[in-house]
Every structure is written in C-alpha cells, then in structure tokens.
Amino acid sequence: MNDNEILFEYLLRLGDNCAILGQRLAEWCGKAPVLEEELALMNVGLDLVGQARLLLDYAGKVEGAGRDEDQLAFFRDTQEWRNFLLIEQPNGDFAKTMARQMIFDCFQYLQFEALTASKDKTLSEIAAKSLKEITYHRRHSSNWVIRLGDGTDESHAKMQAAIDELWGFIPEMFDMDAVEDAMVAAGIGTDVSVLRARWDDMINSILTEATLQRPEDTWSVRGSREGKHSEHLGFLLAEMQFLPRAYPDAKW
Amino acid sequence: MVDTATIPRDPVYDDKSIRKVLEMVKDPEIPVLTIEDMGIVRNIEFEKESVQISIMPTYSGCPAMDVIAEDVKSMLVLHGYKNIEVKTVLSPAWSSDFISENGRKCLEEYGIAPPASAGSKAAMIGIDAVACPQCKSIKTKVVSEFGSTACKALYKCEDCLEPFDYFKCV
C-alpha cells in the first residue's frame, strides 16, 4: 500500500466506528426507557454520525477516487467495513447498550485525545472537535454503568451480564498491525497498544464504583481489520443502506 | 418570489457591510440568536465581486449547519452579493466561549441558561451552579445532560419548579 492508501484505511477504521455506533444508537429511537434517555441516545448518536461524516468525507478525498461520505457509508458491503466487532453488536437491553458505549467511549476518548497531536492537520482538527463531544459521552455512559451496577439486584445482574458478554471484543481494539505501525511512524496515528494501561485504569475505577466484577480474559475475537465481521453487521447495513441503494439518486 | 425592487443595486464588498448582512441571519434552532452572536462566523473574505464566508459547526453532527449555510447564501443574494461561497471550518474548534455578551443576554431572556465559561474545568464537568433563567435561583438540578438539541442540556429549577434548557459549556 502507498501512503495515501494507508491513510485511507486508517481513516476508515476511525470513521466506521462512529458511523456504525451512530446507526446502532438510532435504533433506540422511539424505544428508550425514558424520554430524557431517548434524547441522550439520539444526541450521542448524532454526534457520532457527525464525526463519521467528517472522517469519511476526508477519507474520500484522500482516496481520490471520487467517493464522498455518502458513497462510503451507503455503497460498501460488509467486508469493506473496518469498525470494531464490539461496535456492531446488537443493542440488547439498555444495560448492554450502555456497557458497549462505556467501553468504546473510554477507548475513543484516549485515542482522539492522542490524535489531537497528529501531524495530519485535518485529522488533528477533527479529533479536537470530537473530543469535546466524547467527554460528554464518556461521562454519560460511565454514570449509567455505575448507577445500574450499584443499583438493584436486577440492574446489577443485567449490567454484569452485559460486561461479561462484551469482554472478549475488547482486545481487538488495542491491536497494532502494519497500517497502525505506519501511521504511528508517520506521526499521524497513535499507538493504541500503549493506551491500554490508561484504559484499564479508567475501566477498573468505573467497575469498582459500580460494584461489578472485572471479567477474566478467557476469550477474544478479532477480524474487523480484514473485514471479517459478525453476522450482525449485514443486517444493520441492509437497513442503513436500503434507501440509497434502492433509489441511488434520492435526495432527502 | 423575491421582490427584486428591494435588492440594492450596488452591494458594498467590505467587512463592515457584509457583517451587517450576516447579523440578519438567525440560528434556525435558537431564533433569538444571530450567527454573529453564536460566534460561528470564523472568517469573511471578499474581493471585487465575490464573498467567501467560513463558519464553524457547534457540534460535529449539528443538523443546523446546512440550513445556516443556505441562509447565509440567500441573505447575501437578497442584498445583491454575487459569487458567494460558504465553507465549514473545524479549527479552532467552536467553544461556547465564542458566544457574545449580547448573545448570552438574549439566551437568558429567551429562557435558556447561558453557558458557564469553558475556562472553568468545574463547569465542564457540570459542578458549577446553573441559575434558573426564570427566577434566577441557583437551586437547580440536571434532569439530563442531553437536551432538545446537541448543544443543550435539560435542567429543572427546584424553587420555581420550571424545567429549562441550559446551553452546554464546551
């Protein structure tokens, strides 16, 4: 891969996480447990869609093949998506949605904080803009994990089950590979493997306050970097991409 | 149809005149604020017969940005300007500190508590007291950190019991 191809791939990884999580949160529209929480989920989702637009728009320009943010969002198949497996996992109950969110918010906070120092000016600007939003997201999801974990027997059990169910999707987020290495060497990307210690501190303190058990590292799944996704992503894309694929020139 | 008779024949291409036109463009979500009050106009460039306006989004996903860009264009067209380009810039990242004094006053009169200063870290994590825009009591509490738009949080006054929006501090 040449430099532009590497940067394109890197931007897809960043942007696809935002796009797919934004879409997942939108699935809560009309179904959230309380009105205030519905507003919160839609707000966080909207921020993520905004971040995805900025990153995919830039990715399209870097690629130089004439694809814009919409082309990248609506006309790529499952194997071409680079979001973490964690991100595409179904919403489940509210506990699972918040556990998934907290795990990612803490990661994205550290990753984007580091990217504000990127030598790539556009990327550092997007990171600085997004970081203000992620600060809110992280506080919101952490508070829910704590509140439900340290809540009733039922909410505690549900939150513990959610954390246990998602735990094996975490190691993939901190993997380095040739693309990540090249981006770090170029001063554009950040070494996610070194973020793990600070992420662990954050998560441990949240879990402790939430009276939750940190699960054992007994299993892990990987594959998003090669486009090997869980079966859930296809269903999500089918819904998200239906309209532009059925009516390619539709305007809304 | 726009009444063409009202369009000035010779718009002046200078900072002051263009800014005056921009002062007439309102934020579509908070119609008491102009985009100047919001502090989202980053840059005004002009040549003999062309204008380039740079605006900053408040939030990455703010759905009002496209509308604002269109409103800026049509307001300038209405005043006879030609060759208008409106572009979005990300840097510096918009901060609620960019809202003007007049903007803060308008927000409060409209019933939205203006943002605390972002300089205060305490405000960022929601520790500072937010005064009720109705009765000015500081006995208020957060109902939800996310409100009716991306830039607002939902509060409730414990004295007058009115719920109100707080313009988030970022």
Is residue A217 a part of any domain in this protein?
no
Is residue A219 a part of any domain in this protein?
no
Nearest Cα neighbor of A100 from A109, A110, A90 is A90
Say yes or no for a CB contact (<8 Å) between B145 and A136: yes
Is residue A251 a part of any domain in this protein?
no
Domains detected in chain B? 4-88 (3.30.300.130), 98-167 (no CATH)
pLDDT interval class at B21 (50, 70, 90): very high
Is residue A96 a part of any domain in this protein?
yes
Say yes or no for a CB contact (<8 Å) between B60 and A125: no
Integer Cα distance of B40 and B22 in angstroms: 11
pLDDT digits (tens, 9 = 90+) for A8-45: 999 999 999 999 999 999 999 999 999 989 999 999 99
Angle at A61 between CA A126 and CA A75, to 5 degrees: 100
Cis bond upstream, residue B31 (ω within 30) = no
pLDDT digits (tens, 9 = 90+) for B25-66: 999 988 899 999 999 999 999 998 999 999 999 888 888 888
Residue B163 in contact with partner chain A when CB distance is under 8 A: no
Q: Is A138 exposed, middle or buried (0-12, 13-18, 19+ CB in 10 A)?
A: buried
pLDDT digits (tens, 9 = 90+) for A74-125: 999 999 999 999 999 999 999 999 999 999 999 999 999 999 999 999 999 9
Q: Is the pLDDT of residue B90 over 50?
A: yes
Integer Cα distance of A156 and A144 in angstroms: 11
Integer Cα distance of A119 and A187 in angstroms: 6
What is the span of the domain harbouring residue A44? 3-212+226-246
CATH code for the domain of A155:
1.20.1260.10
pLDDT interval class at A249 (50, 70, 90): confident
Residue B66 in contact with partner chain A when CB distance is under 8 A: no
pLDDT at B170: 84
Integer Cα distance of A88 and A95 in angstroms: 16
> Please, are residues B79 and B45 in contact by the beta-carbon 8 Å criterion?
no
Token representation of residue A199:
């992420």
> Please, are residues A151 and A209 in contact by the beta-carbon 8 Å criterion?
no
Mean local confidence (pLDDT), B145-169:
90
pLDDT digits (tens, 9 = 90+) for A192-234: 999 999 999 999 999 999 999 999 999 999 999 999 999 999 9
Is residue A218 a part of any domain in this protein?
no
Bridge-partner residues for B44, per DSSP? B53
ipTM, 2 dp: 0.80
Say yes or no for a CB contact (<8 Å) between A132 and B93: yes
Is residue A80 a part of any domain in this protein?
yes
pLDDT interval class at B10 (50, 70, 90): confident
Is residue A58 a part of any domain in this protein?
yes
Q: Is the pLDDT of residue B129 over 90?
A: no
pTM: 0.91
Say yes or no for a CB contact (<8 Å) between A39 and B146: yes
Mean local confidence (pLDDT), A69-75:
96
> Please, are residues B109 and A141 in contact by the beta-carbon 8 Å criterion?
no
Average pLDDT for chain B? 87
Residue among A36, A122, A128 minimizing CB distance to B154: A36
Token representation of residue B35:
């985009």
Mean local confidence (pLDDT), B141-149:
87
Is residue A72 a part of any domain in this protein?
yes
Residue A56 in contact with partner chain B when CB distance is under 8 A: no
> Could you give the number of structural domains in chain A?
1
